[in-house]
Amino acid sequence: MATALQVSGVRASYGDLEILKGVDIEVPFGEVHVLMGPNGSGKSTLCHVLMGKDEYEATGSALVDGTEVMGLPVDERARTGLFEAFQYPVEVPGVSLDDLLREMDEVRDDPEFQDRVEAMTETLDMSRFRDRAVNGGLSGGEKKRSEMFQMAVAGAKVAILDEIDSGLDIDAVRDVAHLVEELRSDDLGVLLITHYSRILRYMNPDKIHVMVDGEVVRTGGPEIAAELEASGYVDLVANEASIPTPEVTPFDI
């Protein structure tokens, strides 16, 4: 299966503080991968670096459908098909969702854009939100639905969903999880960043990557979430460190 996102040897520092210490992650098209880890492990920093936030000094490679995005301005990264859904989507007073869609259409050479807008408006029940300010007066779950809508109509190739379960009640977490599954596509790779396993109860992730202290220390299947739920990150890291032979590890489960 072709690779949507290929992250290789990504390191990042904020001033004198090294945060990412050589991150390698591969997300094929059609798959949903989850990046988990404790607070301060570097998950959101990886998101910021991939999207081009300029306060980090970053090295390494990040390919979106084969195109190198490291070093590109944010808008050019977006044009490659890279999309971020924010932890806390901001409200944009005075700009309606329809205004945003028109701007998106004007800067794209995509004859299928309007067809996707109409199809996704119906699929995600967005018609009542399109004449309202972007995220204006919406609940947490509605804001996340709006972002999933924007991702779908933009024709994203790689979606980085940064803690989209933050601040949501149980019903909204379930709804957002179902949206992610509903929008699965052979043309999209998803990297979902989260602290907790609760959203995964309503999803079928293909792989889970665990990040600790700026490194991916384990990659495996959904069973990793159950391990973390039972014993937490401390025990998992301790178990990894106790394995005497680096060549035989559970990293490639």
pLDDT, tens digit, for every residue of 100-110? 999 999 888 88
Look up the CATH number of the domain holding residue 24.
Answer: 3.40.50.300
pLDDT above 90: residue 73: yes
- Per-residue pLDDT tens for 203-225? 999 999 999 999 999 999 999 98
Would 121 be classed as within a structural domain? Answer: no
Residue 94 lies in a domain: no
Is 129 within the bounds of a domain?
Answer: no
Q: Tell whether 232 is covered by a domain.
A: yes
- The whole-model pTM stands at 0.89
* Residue 118 belongs to some domain of the structure: no
148 found inside a domain: no
CA-nearest of 33, 16, 32 to 211 is 33
Is 10 part of any domain? yes
Residue 115 lies inside a defined structural domain of this protein: no
Gap between the terminal Cα atoms of the chain: 18
Note down the domain range covering 227: 3-89+157-252
Task: Quote the pLDDT of residue 241.
Answer: 56
Count of domains for the chain: 1
